[in-house]
Chain A
Amino acid sequence: MDGVHDLGGMHGFGPVPVDDDGPGFHEPWEARVWALSGPVMRRTTIDRFRYSIERMAPAAYLTSSYFGRWLHAIETLAADPELLDRSPVTRPAPNLPPRSCRFATGERVRVRNAVTPGHTRVPRYLRRQTGTVRRVACVWPDPTRSAATGVYGEPVVHYTVAFAAADLFGPDTDHVVTADLTETDLEAE
Chain B
Amino acid sequence: MSPDPSPAQRTESLERHLRDHGVLADGEVDADLARAESADGNAPSPALGARVVARAWTDPTFRARLLDDAVAALADLRPLTVPVAVLEDTPTLHHVIVCTLCSCYPSELLGPPPAWYKSFEYRSRVVREPRAVLAEFGTEVPEGMELDVHDSTAEQRYLVLPLRPTGTDGWDEQRLAGLVTRNVLIGTAWPRPAT
Binding site for B on A (CB under 8 A): 5-24, 27-36, 38-40, 43, 46, 50, 53, 62, 66, 68, 71, 74-75, 78, 84, 91, 94-95, 121-123, 125, 137-140, 143, 158, 160, 162, 165, 168-169, 173-182
Contact = CB atoms under 8 A, between A and B. Distances in A.
Given A16-B121, A27-B7, A94 B82 contact: yes
B10 interface: yes
Given A8-B101, A20-B114, A68-B7, A122 B153 contact: yes
B71 to A, nearest CB: 4
Given A13-B120, A178-B151, A84 B21 contact: yes
Q: Please classify the interface of chain A as helix (H, G, I), strand (E, B), loop, or mixed, using the class held by over half of its residues.
A: mixed
A10 B146 contact: no
B23 A5 contact: no
Interface residues on B, range: 35 or more
Given A46-B155, A74-B14, A78-B14, A6 B101 contact: yes
A16 B32 contact: no
B124 to A, nearest CB: 4
Interface in B93-116: 100-103, 111-116
B153 A123 contact: yes
B23 A78 contact: yes
Given A13-B125, A78-B18, A40 B85 contact: no
Contact of B148 (A8, A137, A162): A162
